[in-house]
Structure 1
């Protein structure tokens, strides 16, 4: 029997931190989660393709997954478990079914990022010996903390007299927006009365909690390809159709897309590649971009304008273009009823000195798929933030957390679940329909 997770929160988080795996490659991560969940003892555990339909996934990597599988195997992952995750079907769902009571979902994400972690001796993971062991990859967004929360909450509820159904979604591929949709479409999201999603930090300090975010941006990841005609750049440049030139025009024009009067919109080209040599007119160019909007409709506006801009630039230079949607996520706001409940719970948690009922999010999250699924079926959802102090912001090589926030998160989440159990059904506000309509 393992030592209780609640007595080793920091060590559990550090174990995950040492072995970060990016989207749909979370093989060792899933295996580690499964070991811990089995030690806790749950009523149902679904792993990979048993947790969702693989056909519902988005942003599936094109590259070879075998090195990641072998790395997991070398580090002790069970062969039978790895076989179940063939094709990158990672992640898990754990269920406690404890009789009559509310059905409550908790969503935590599990993937790392393609970022090289700092080797600076002043960086705590270096100084204390838990820096990432996988070069070029790190937990730079706190998902190691999120997984620890998921396990610790699952354990605490399993050891309690909780009455109801608790479903914990250990969701892969958040960073690429690829894992929220299959989890939301799965049978495990059926008939949930409440959903809690959670994030650490996000510029909120240690001791602060946001009970529910508002205005997350709907988002689409886009891959654009421009095809031209190659030619000798010195002898016959006029015979070529320059895909690189078309790409440059597309990038400049994309940033000139008109913003929208009805709310925030964003567009960004984050990666671009073209050409083969200095003396060859480039016949192919590729871009990775994203479009965001304050509402799902505004995101669709930016997405369509980006596609039109790329195709227009390609045509201008005698080229052809295609734009593929890699992944996307809708907008979903936290419900005020759960914001009020979480506020009340957090105010009574030791170490929490500031509770904000709501805060604008300003970024994107594919937990919104699960939130909308629950809300559309008559349930309530909130996405809360547990503050932490960190030396640099998220998605940087020196990102880290104040590990006191791990305990804060566990206490807030367990308290909220037990409060929902006792107060079910939580009354809904009279203007619920008006609140929901503003999300679309």
Structure 2
């Protein structure tokens, strides 16, 4: 998986390899691409021309052509189901996409030294999604070989990095009537041997694209005849960072990419920005999104231009349920190799697994997003990101044992909430 990274909605070879493994394991139901969700519910889908090279590469690598035909147009990802009759319905979500990052080939970077560095120029599993896929497949295999009673649904979700895949998976029939949902991530600055039983306060987030249309003119002969889209964009960028923060909680805005113009002597007639807005709550994210759109359109009007603003994708806030945090804590404390369990921690970033969490919670179920620590030499989303492979086994053990414990404890008893790290330290006599 690490050698063949693919970005959002182009995970053709990745999905084919996952399906190959699932078929070898043997499950009761397997849905791929448009059979796993409604393609109309996808977000942040690239233009059609961006799929061809990735489809061709997957075919050259020997991916099942029938599967690739089914995934035409970027309908990637899969859902696998083990149905053993009476018992709880449990969902597990793992993400499968990679990032547009060139992986390091320097000595000392283990994937390069050991021969499994990315084979695709400009793409890399720099966030551990290859680990997550491995967890998902290994959990399926372990549960298949066990005497588990109930229903296990594993979502191999595409397009997490663009927040495009969580929504369609959450709206699908496979997400209906789940009693519990587990989502998991490796690392995130937590070391090997540590488990966070459930995240809290993930930021709701929106990806927003804006294009400003102006009028070109000769920059020397008649600059007054132009409507400068680049100038309008500059005004929009400065003013976006001046959007008032909100009394109800934390907000964020960022202009991550901007381009404009064609030559030094031409008044720019078009400018494009890729931006994001985040908030401590879904409502605060919507506030920042509305304000950012107003700011961009006002800046365009100020300079005689026009702006088109599109919300490309978004994800809500959803917190882990204390009942599952308590159960995961109990399980993880008994897993070999885990030496520290934190019941809950603030996330501080964004994740579209929250769509699935929100769906399950709205339908009366419980959800948690847990973190399995790993020693990574550099941060996520960097060319030298790597994982401690002990975390592969840790993640599988925690997830499998949690699923079995949910089976035995269903319905999970209510708890008021997990103790904070400071409260635990005080209870144990710490400072």
TM-score, length of structure 2 as denominator length:
0.96
Q: Is 1:345 equivalent to 2:331 in the alignment?
A: yes
SS of residue matched to 1:30 = helix
Show the 5 A alignment for 1:11-30. 16-30=1-15
Q: Is 1:117 equivalent to 2:100 in the alignment?
A: no
Determine if contact 2:322/2:416 at 8 Å carries over to the other structure. no
Alpha-carbon separation, structure 2, partners of 1:109 and 1:264: 27
User: In the TM superposition, what whole-angstrom CA distance separates every residue of 1:219-249 from its partner, at most 9, and x where no partner exists?
Assistant: 0000001000000001000000000000011
Alpha-carbon separation, structure 2, partners of 1:335 and 1:64: 39
**Counterpart for residue 195 of structure 1:** 181
**Counterpart for residue 287 of structure 2:** 301
Report the aligned-residue RMSD: 1.0
Alpha-carbon separation, structure 1, partners of 2:258 and 2:414: 47
Deviation at residue 364 of structure 1 after TM alignment: 0.2
Aligned mate of 1:229, from 178, 202, 215: 215
User: In the TM superposition, what whole-angstrom CA distance separates every residue of 1:158-185 from its partner, at most 9, and x where no partner exists?
Assistant: 0000000000000000000000000000
Q: Is 1:265 equivalent to 2:251 in the alignment?
A: yes
Q: Is 1:46 equivalent to 2:27 in the alignment?
A: no
User: In the TM superposition, what whole-angstrom CA distance separates every residue of 1:350-381 from its partner, at most 9, and x where no partner exists?
Assistant: 00000000000000000000000000000000
Q: Is 1:61 equivalent to 2:46 in the alignment?
A: yes
Show the 5 A alignment for 1:84-233. 84-233=70-219
User: In the TM superposition, what whole-angstrom CA distance separates every residue of 1:27-47 from its partner, at most 9, and x where no partner exists?
Assistant: 000000000000000000000
Deviation at residue 326 of structure 1 after TM alignment: 0.3
**Counterpart for residue 370 of structure 2:** 384
Deviation at residue 343 of structure 1 after TM alignment: 0.1
Uncovered stretches (5+) of structure 2, i.e. residues with no partner: 418-431
Per mean C-alpha deviation after superposition, the further-off stretch among 132-141 and 116-125 is 116-125
Q: Is 1:420 equivalent to 2:406 in the alignment?
A: yes
**Counterpart for residue 425 of structure 2:** none
Query: Aligned residue pairs: how many?
Result: 417
- 1:209/1:430 Cα in 2 relative to 1: closer, same or farther (>3 Å)? closer
Q: Which runs of 4+ in 1 moved over 4 A?
A: none
Deviation at residue 429 of structure 1 after TM alignment: 4.2
Alpha-carbon separation, structure 1, partners of 2:130 and 2:227: 47
SS of residue matched to 2:237 = helix
Determine if contact 2:378/2:384 at 8 Å carries over to the other structure. yes
Deviation at residue 428 of structure 1 after TM alignment: 2.9
Alpha-carbon separation, structure 2, partners of 1:346 and 1:429: 18
Aligned mate of 1:354, from 333, 337, 340: 340
User: In the TM superposition, what whole-angstrom CA distance separates every residue of 1:154-211 from its partner, at most 9, and x where no partner exists?
Assistant: 0000000000000000000000000000000000001000000000000100100000
Deviation at residue 430 of structure 1 after TM alignment: 6.8
Deviation at residue 404 of structure 1 after TM alignment: 0.4
SS of residue matched to 1:18 = coil
Deviation at residue 262 of structure 1 after TM alignment: 1.1
User: In the TM superposition, what whole-angstrom CA distance separates every residue of 1:237-266 from its partner, at most 9, and x where no partner exists?
Assistant: 000000000001100111111111111100
**Counterpart for residue 361 of structure 2:** 375
Show the 5 A alignment for 1:230-245. 230-245=216-231
Alpha-carbon separation, structure 2, partners of 1:316 and 1:87: 39
Alpha-carbon separation, structure 1, partners of 2:356 and 2:97: 17
Uncovered stretches (5+) of structure 1, i.e. residues with no partner: 1-15, 432-440
Q: Is 1:401 equivalent to 2:413 in the alignment?
A: no
Per mean C-alpha deviation after superposition, the further-off stretch among 288-297 and 422-431 is 422-431
Alpha-carbon separation, structure 2, partners of 1:336 and 1:312: 44
Alpha-carbon separation, structure 2, partners of 1:264 and 1:168: 33
Aligned mate of 1:79, from 65, 72, 89: 65
Alpha-carbon separation, structure 2, partners of 1:342 and 1:127: 36
SS of residue matched to 1:302 = helix
SS of residue matched to 2:117 = coil
Q: Is 1:34 equivalent to 2:34 in the alignment?
A: no
Alpha-carbon separation, structure 1, partners of 2:214 and 2:249: 36
